[in-house]
Chain A
């Protein structure tokens, strides 16, 4: 099951999804990380981000909503706190980044490329664009193109663009990323959702809306992967609601070259490793 994904050599096509596996360390007590195809770390930003107020999560039918708000210690601390552990791994490490401006994406990628352990950069364009009042970069093909171009110019490592499904036509965004030089596409990030607490009459999340993940979004993710795989030539990494290797196989049938396991890691600390084992 070994694959070469846009230049990244992986023993198997199963990675963990950004934000659901911390920086890897958190799962090391429970499972052998070296059995993963690759590890993708939680989004890191240039400056530290405190994240959103609680409550940040709630359960929904076969899924969960989250509004973590990209809490992370910022790149400087990330290099000190996360990289030493990641260096000990025998599998490729992909670092997921987000910027508040286009320039920040390139700056982050440049800093990270200096670390030998970093085998790829995953660009999270689902984060809010501070300059345009917080709308996600990933909803605008033009901005996705600009971000991709600037990151590609900054580094020689493979650049993977991770797309949001919260758009009318995801193929337009995927094509923009491909034309701008992206080496691969990850789809999908969480689906915008909302839930109310009947007892209080208020939304269950502090920010009202949040990102839906888990099995509930799998058909949406499979559909997005299928559409993108028809529209572009670069490899597509499928993510959304994968709990088992059978779930992963659906994504391969839709055209994915690799998959990521996210929310399932919370349910079973060995979920991702089991998905990989089940594909053999």
Chain B
């Protein structure tokens, strides 16, 4: 069950230009959240920006009673969020949505994150520990400036590959392309492989196509504009094989074969 609460900011830092991490004190959310869920954050007490802004839970540490979110400044709301200070309180709703499913019969997981889409994947990588033996993470970005630090994934014992569209850091190319060599190498264990992805729509679509081609299950974290974040307004739907479904409640994580791409 999600709650609305005021969570104290324990830390806020700019990891790279326009790229921030906020650490929040929340005993309840840290103990109840699962990988792939999100929090809906009230940015201001004023009427503009009015609506809450959704952010994936990047990290959740129940022992320390904290959660972390990772975000890029893209507009007014995220700009204001980046100016918050330690000890201020943030009004948050969470943990919201349906996160990633972790099957027990898989031997290999490939996590693909594009840009800020990497956010829910660290929490996932940690949750996979002890459940899926081989975890590959492909971190993609437009260029070096936007590439996210991989050290937390290294620490989570994942095999990490980084790439950029322009080759300014890591390998040159699009993140989904680097799934192919991993899949080819392990062809015999296709049935024991699962793909998880989060990022821009074209990247997710490419992942869905590869999953279909190799007949591997894939779970994708989708985005849509939200108002309530709790399933009440019907504002955040995407088209699926079972009609319009709510990203905030039925998702944000959907099975790739369920999604109807426009």
Contacts and interface: CB of A to CB of B under 8 A. Distances in A.
Given A21-B232, A71-B234, A268 B42 contact: yes
Contacts of B230: 26-27, 29-30, 269
Contact of A214 (B47, B93, B228, B229): B47
A99 B226 CA distance: 27
A263 B51 CA distance: 9
Contact of A54 (B93, B238, B243): B238
Contact of A64 (B2, B50, B93): B50
Interface residues of B, number: 31
Nearest to B249: A26
Nearest to B231: A26
A237 to B, nearest CB: 20
A50 B244 contact: yes
B1 interface: yes
Q: Interface size bucket, A side? A: 35 or more
A63 B233 CA distance: 15
A55 B225 contact: yes
A67 to B, nearest CB: 9
A107 interface: no
B239 interface: yes
Contacts of A59: 49-51
A68 B235 contact: yes
B243 A265 contact: no
A64 B51 contact: yes
A270 B232 CA distance: 14
Interface string B92-111: 01000000000000000000
B126 interface: no
A64 B1 CA distance: 27
B93 A269 contact: yes
A200 to B, nearest CB: 13
Contact of A55 (B52, B224, B228, B229): B224
B234 A68 contact: yes
B208 interface: no
A268 B5 CA distance: 10
A243 B243 CA distance: 33
Interface string A55-82: 1111101111010100100000000000
B63 interface: no
Nearest to A204: B225
Interface string A2-23: 0000000000000000011110
A57 B235 CA distance: 6
Interface in A258-280: 263, 265-270
A82 to B, nearest CB: 12
Contacts of A57: 225-227, 233, 235-236
Given A58-B225, A214-B50, A266-B232, 9 more contacts: A29-B3, A54-B244, A56-B235, A57-B227, A64-B51, A66-B233, A71-B234, A263-B227, A268-B42
Interface of B: 1-4, 42, 47-52, 91, 93, 224-239, 243-244
Interface of A: 19-22, 26-27, 29-30, 42, 50-51, 53-59, 61-64, 66, 68, 71, 214-215, 243, 263, 265-270
30 contacts: A19-B233, A20-B228, A20-B232, A20-B233, A22-B232, A22-B233, A26-B228, A26-B230, A29-B230, A30-B3, A42-B234, A51-B234, A54-B224, A54-B225, A54-B238, A56-B225, A56-B235, A57-B225, A57-B226, A59-B51, A64-B51, A64-B227, A66-B233, A66-B235, A71-B234, A265-B228, A266-B228, A266-B229, A266-B233, A267-B51
